[in-house]
Amino acid sequence: MTKIAILGANGRLGRVVSKAFIDAGYDVRAITRSGKIPAELTGATAVAGDGLDREALIRATEGVDIIFNGLNPIYTDWGKCLPMAENVMAACRANDALHLAPGNVYIYGSSMPALITEDTPFHPTTEKGRIRVAMEDLFRREAEAGRVRTILLRAGDFFGGTGTGA
């Protein structure tokens, strides 16, 4: 059975992704800072792991085939995004795990075109956009070096149900 770790399983997107993988029959490890998960994720194994603690994240993801990167600090704390992404890459390398990540549209900036393709250039106009570009550059470098395979699904950041992200 394929094992997947969902980082940020208590977040809005993390909960939905966790539930989808549980329903699809995957062996789901729901990773949260507290190690606690909601009842709706029955069937997942709850594990504590902090995205800012590299060694703890590597331990929490040990033996998985896929790591879904649902980590997302509150908007006023986005300086943590790149360090967390570096730790996720370390966990993926340690496990030879496929990295699944949600991408957003901040990288295109305020002049974002109506139609976006994989060749649409990045033109971030905000700090959050620049941070996301740096994260995607990290993912690309890891892939080009043959260290981490990443699948990035780009969408707006409005998806998901309720959740506190705790």
- The answer to whether residue 121 sits within a structural domain is yes
Q: What is the pLDDT of residues 27-50, one digit of tens each?
A: 999 999 999 999 999 999 999 999
pLDDT attached to residue 72: 87
pLDDT attached to residue 166: 46
CA 102 – CA 114 distance, rounded (Å)? 20
Query: Dmax of the chain from CA atoms?
Result: 44
Domain that holds residue 17: 3-154
CA 37 – CA 143 distance, rounded (Å)? 31
Q: How far is CA 17 from the centre of its chain?
A: 11
Instruction: Give the chain's mean pLDDT.
Output: 92
Q: Is 165's pLDDT higher than 60?
A: no
Q: Rounded to 5, what percent of the chain is helix, strand, coil?
A: 40, 20, 40
Grouping H, G, I as helix, E, B as strand and the rest as coil, residue 97 is coil
Q: Is 71's pLDDT higher than 60?
A: yes
In percent, how much of the chain has pLDDT > 90? 79
- The answer to whether residue 164 sits within a structural domain is no
CATH for 60: 3.40.50.720
- The answer to whether residue 144 sits within a structural domain is yes
- The answer to whether residue 145 sits within a structural domain is yes
